[in-house]
Structure 1
Amino acid sequence: MEKNKKHLPAIGVGPVIVAPQIVLSVAGIFAGTKECLSFARISALRIPFTVLGVLLIILGMYLWVYANFKTKIESHIKENTLATDGVYSIVRNPIYSAFFLICTGVLLFPANLILLILPVLFYFYMTVMIKSTEEKWLKALYGNEYTEYCKNVNRCIPSFPKKKK
């Protein structure tokens, strides 16, 4: 792929990664409040889980807004430049991470321990999908620049940049 001729699609595999998280989160919330999963509901955790859930939702919304509007990822895609600044300096896939955090936050509200399985499944699904699609495309498009970026910035979990040796 020549860098100056082709670029990634603006939406990419995003819907394939995000839609299952949203659908399973909605189903999980519904099931988590019903009698079939009541054995795993811990009422003592309701307040701490709700507080943590709200914080995760706020962090997810922040990541999403920052990635879409402050960093303007769409312009990076159209201009064929690798986004490594702003929120992209702390996580390689902030939009996917945002949905992951929001869905995880929502799943905490029922305080049902069974629902905690879903974020683990989301994470592994998201990782497999990103590695088998976008990471291959970006490696082909940006080569060593992308490889170095991957060494310093996490795929899905926001963190402070690793110090260069």
Structure 2
Amino acid sequence: MSENNHLPLYGIGPYLIGAITLMTIIAIMISFLKYIPVYSLDSLILKVFGVILMIVGAVFWLRAVLNSDIQKNIVQNHLVTTGIYGIVRHPIYAAFLYAITGVLLIADNLILMPLSIVYWLILTLTMVKTEERWLIDLYGDDYLSYSKKVNRFIPKVI
């Protein structure tokens, strides 16, 4: 943690998101140029679902960044558990995962779809090793209780 005894404002997230975005762009380019096999379903339904995921991602991001005023809460050491943070613990990363999965669906190559699972694994492992440790160190039982009620990236159905 920083010398101000609060979470870093940005943490490792921008690096991860940048790397994953770059990998996705490269994967789509090599698919488009047919350097890898293309297994297309040519499904309008999947493309529409991809657009919906991108919109959901944008809404999650806007609610996390703008509505929750997350930077102010980080600086003031407030654990945000309401609003979008009451639905998922890491809505900015969830937003990114939804949007990237949407882009991959629109790209329409089944070979690229496992990238979403790989990205989810990368983000999950990184969250456990970094940001969630910081949150536990800073908020203790409050964060542990919150984490039992709210999933990392995917909202609970019940």
Distance 2:134 2:107 in 1: 39
Q: Deviations along 1:106-130, whole A, 9 cap, x unmatched? A: 1111211001010000000000000
Structure 1 outlier segments of 4+, above 3 Å: none
Q: How does 1:1-165 map to 2 (within 5 A)?
A: 6-43=5-42, 45=43, 47-159=44-156
CA contact (8 A) 2:89 2:152 kept: yes
Q: Deviations over 1:30-53 (max 9, x none)?
A: 12222233442232x2x1221011
Letter in 2 for 1:15: P
Which one is further off, 139-148 or 13-22? 13-22
**2: CA distance between counterparts of 1:35 and 1:120?**
22
Cα RMSD for the two superposed structures: 1.5
3-state DSSP class of the match of 1:36?
A: coil
Moved more, 18-27 or 141-150: 18-27
Letter matched to residue 88 of structure 1 = Y
Aligned equivalents of 2:143, 2:41: Cα separation in 1: 44
Shift in Å, 1:148: 0.1
Residue aligned with 1:7, SS = coil
Paired residue secondary structure (2:114): helix
TM-score (normalised: structure 1): 0.89
Quote the offset at 1:104 in angstroms.
Answer: 0.9
Q: Would the aligned equivalents of 2:57 and 2:98 in 1 still touch at CA under 8 Å? A: yes
TM-score (norm 2): 0.93
Question: In percent, how many aligned pairs have the same letter?
Answer: 37
SS in 2 for 1:37: coil
| Alignment check: 8 A CA contact 2:38 2:110 kept | no
| SS of alignment partner, residue 35 of structure 2 | helix
Instruction: Report if aligned partners of 1:92, 1:154 keep a CA contact under 8 Å in 2.
Output: yes
Aligned equivalents of 1:32, 1:113: Cα separation in 2: 10
